[in-house]
Amino acid sequence: MTVYVRSLETAVPPTMLVQTEARDVFAAQPGLSRLGSRLVNTCFDSAAIDTRYTAVEEMTMDFRVDDPQFFDPATGLLLNPSTKVRNEIFGREATKLFIDAARAAVDACPDLDLLDITHLITVSCTGFFNPGPDYKIVRALGLDPAVQRYHLGFMGCYAAFPALRAAKSFCEADPQAVVLVVCAELCSLHVRTSNDPDTIMGSALFADGAAAAVVTSREVPDAPALLQLDHFETVLTPVGEESMAWNIGDHGFEMVLGNYVPHIIDDHIVGALAPLLAHDPSVQGLPYRGIRHWAIHPGGRSILDKVQSRLQLTDQQLVPARETLRKYGNMSSATVLFVLKNILEQPPEDGDERICSMAFGPGLTVETGLFTKLRQAAGGRAAPAEPAQEQTEGQAAAESALA
């Protein structure tokens, strides 16, 4: 049974952070050592990010509040609220993103009634509350109260793949199933000033955003699907358990992103892809000419550089990932769906349109997916197509602190 993505929509908070302005604020904090100050400038400048979005309005110089909790523009000081305060904001602001993304994905399928949705899968690793985002979406959109609800929490940047894989399984088990998948992350809630290199890197990379998809095996000739879900695989690298982690501290969640992560990916990415690509006989080893598009989670510029070099990918094949990183930063689980949307929005051309997608997270876990981009052909049938390619953006000359 073939399972399709019928819609894929994204949402970000209204507050934009300009990378250079954020760098200057973090670099000016009084508690930084000389090395810490140098690391701030290096990490922010070499991240290949221009803008990011945050749900914390007061993280900009223009916002004024009587009792600031994160940033005081009058003094230029970054504050350090408790995990409780941060999580309360998550409950309020993440709910908005979950609902906005979910509503956009449903609205993009006008042939489906809200009561057609049989399953709801929500994903986040940046906060907790209960009744959770799955409940909030059901109430806000008016879904059937009996819809089956599942929440994937605290898995990290790769969690969109287990969500899509579960959606595919539901649809294969029930041909009438319609699954709504929603990822929303508020990573910026957990940034803070520090001399710790991992914390500094997180402050330079992470951002807020959401993405939602409607997944089903139903075929509607008048409203063709966007994407065909072909196969998923999960691989744990033999090393790296201590190099990437996500822990809960007294003042927010604490990221561990060791400087050896890009090298672990470099050493093991070919082996991690082998189980996935074994399902496509047209792919005959490096370079993978049988796969035209690569939706790679942009965990950081150094990670993208290592993946491109090791897999012998062209600059054009990295455009969707690098453009997502440049415009939005790293939004954890939602990010790879932004990359896929970038690919889907490219004008179609003739030819095979296979997509290999991957994301990396704690463990070190490598999640991969094999997809086919679809377009409407004569007679209303879905057929593969190829997007027009863009020119890649120039990368920052400075080496990342993670390189």
Written as six digits, the tokens of 150 are 């599942």
With b for 16 or more beta-carbon neighbours within 10 A and e for fewer, the 73-96 pattern comes to beeebbeebebebbbbbbbebbbb
Catalytic residue among 157, 171, 183, 187: 157
CA distances to 129, 143, 174, 214, 315 from 179, rounded to whole Å, are 22, 12, 11, 6, 34
* Number of Cβ within a 10 Å radius of residue 38: 13
Which residues fall within 8 angstroms of residue 135, CB to CB, at 6 or more apart?
A: 149
Distance (Å, rounded) from C-alpha 241 to C-alpha 255?
13
Cross-strand bridge partners of residue 366: 235, 360
Rounded to 10 degrees, the C-alpha dihedral 132/135/138/144 comes to 150
Confirm whether 43 is a catalytic residue. Answer: no
The C-alpha atoms of residue 261 and residue 122 are separated, in whole angstroms, by 27
Distance CA 123, CA 143 (A): 18
- Alpha-carbon distance of 308 to 313, in angstroms, equals 5
- Known catalytic residues? 157
